[in-house]
Chains A and B, each alone.
Chain A
Amino acid sequence: MFLRVVWASLRRQGFRLGAAVAAMVLGSSLFAALLNLSFDAGGKAGRELRAYGANVLLFPREELRGPSAGLEALGVAVEDAGIPESSLGSLDGVDGIVGFAPYLYSVVEVAGQAVVAAGIDFDRLKGVSPWWKIDGRWPEERAEGLVGVSAAQSLGLASGSHVWLRYGESTSEADVAGIVETGGPEDGQLFFPLPLIQRLTGRQGQVGLVQVSVLSRTGSLQAVAGEIARRLPGVRVRMLDQFAQADEIILGKIRLLLGLVAGLVLIVAALTVGSTMFAEVLYRKDEIGLMKALGATRKRVAAFFLVEGMSIGILGGVVGYGAGLGAAALIGQHVFGAALVPSSLGFPATAALALGVAAATSLLPVRRVLAMEPSVTLRGE
């Protein structure tokens, strides 16, 4: 009988029910959209931030010696020590690593001038430093490289130039595929395929530095650094704290903003549903008076309205969640250029909130009417 009454009541409410459900759908959809955004936007924004360079550097554990030591301060590790290239494969399985690029720096002679030349894996470099501006093209052949814009000027090189590299008694030759401009120390350096520099310097299978790009989430950078240190005991892990902190501050602010807007939306939805339910309960106070006159306890009467309110909450929550997912996907596509991944918490959180808001906003007016005597409400007062 209980459900029969609730169903009959919901069926006949028409416009008023529609208004309450619409308010709940609106509130839930915005809440669901913002919730999913706040969960996934962190990841998306983190990936965007990773386009600005690596935030973790790996060095050989051995101390650098001699004249090369000063280069470390510039983020350059030279030939005194090395990390086995074969050990880097274990980085691929670390959760949170977006990409990494091994470097082998060396001071070589080009056209009679000493310059810093780095051996790098260009494919991996593109993942870690996609912001490098190349005039020309990325190297594709085994003997092609890039030249920093300042180095190109001082050495008189351009795209398509042919260069001879000398290291002690060894020499190699390569073509210049493009001129790179980063605004950093790279502008004064030369970049060639890793095997070419390894062969030239006689350090086959060695790298001197690895730049790692880690997706920032609160506290995640520390954890990833720890995992790297565990997997590669022979390396020193250095986090670029400014980058890490900036990432986390930006992500924190995005989440806070989304959370505040979601909270505000929820308050507005609660007020709308509350006022609708309040009007509904006042409209039906005769009915409440009659139920009490027929011997219904306060709890039983309240249960009818509570379940009606919760039905509005469930309906509004489910429809609103679907609409919110759609909205989040649209926002994700337009802002981040990729669809958002729905959070597993999204549906239960939205449904629970919609239910809670509907129940709470239904109970408040019901409590007020329940306090009235049936003899009064039945008189129409």
Chain B
Amino acid sequence: MLRTSCTIAGLLSLGVALPAAADETCLSPYMAKITGHEDYVYVWTLGVDGLGDGSDKLVTIDVREGSPTSGKVIDVDSVGSRNEAHHGGFTDDRRQFWATGLDTSTIFIFDVASDPANPKLVRTIDDFEEKTGGVVGPHGAYALPGRMMIPALSNRDGTGRTAIVEYSNQGEFVATHWMPTAAEAKKIPGGEHADGYGYDVRVLPRKNVMLTSSFAGRENYMRPFGEVAGDPEAMKKFGGSMIIWDFHARTPKKVFQVPGVPLEVRWAWGEDKAHAFTSTALTSQLWLVYEDDGGEWQAKAVADIGDPQKLPVPVDISLSADDKTLFANTFMDGMTRVYDVSDPHAPKQIYEKKIGTQVNMVSQSWDGQRLYYTSSLLANWDKSGADNEQFLKAYSWNGKELAPRFEIDFTGEELGRPHMMAFGAASLYAN
């Protein structure tokens, strides 16, 4: 039953101004956006034993131009425990920030609307495993209208079979959708590649599709990386699949074999676009998932990231709001590489820069002029000794090169290991 809606044509004929469908730039399409200069960067930070209070915390950094505290930490909200702080996300009204803990399966909900410069922990979900039927390792938090979608990494046995979980914005459990295994996915194309692993989830509303990626279970992500890398059996326990879903029905449509741990999913924003990028951590490739001319979804590797032979371990990627520029970080060499992806089928690297001894996350502003980087991957996977730099570094981007703006030493300030970043703006709630 393929059909189109024609009623919107009438709206366009009235000349109603529609805002651009972009973001800053990896958030859910279902929420209000900061189209001007962000005021604050919230950093979900892993606690480090013996450093400060040793607890995970949401760190607020003032990034307002001209502010006397610009480039400084202006607020720290400790949760009083260590949970392997990892990713998070805003609700669709952008009034709450949900932050996840991979180790304890705890979700911390912060109110960022009442005072955007001073978020407050208002609720903790600590029965995630029980309510979800055995899912553990909540990874991200992705806004849907009135609810949150939580992709997880593991299950109560610690293996990589996991699920996507939904909660209402009020923190009430709604549903668990287990990632399919090959045995369960026999009837869909590529079903033999389904491995049950999970990592990221992103939706392209116009096409009613959801795209998921795959990582590893608790038995691997909570184990020191050196041990995992030296254990051939453990190295077999990583995801190598991506799944395109019927979003509305929450049912898988097609499974792609994407070897080497596909991580972050970034859909292009343009209304005429139907493609997404991901990077593979262990095979160092940039992959494109796209709808072909026949309306069929496909996946293929389109570029190497660094030298795959050197195992640079691609981590976070960030696609610009105009879909033309993609930033890709590699953890091991601390590099960021910038690709011209105007032709998504043929990315061209146009720039590279060493950010630090290690680097993980990258977030860019709506206008693509400001980039923020953080260093930590996982508590047991970060480097040690002098190479264990823990920082947030801010840059400006002029289309050709990155120029430093400021940096914050998270170890020196006794904060911990900085991970996920999200932007705040007082004007979102000014009225």
Q: Do A and B come from one complex?
A: no
User: Measuring CB to CB, which residues of chain B are less than 8 angstroms from any residue of chain A?
Assistant: none
User: Measuring CB to CB, which residues of chain A are less than 8 angstroms from any residue of chain B?
Assistant: none
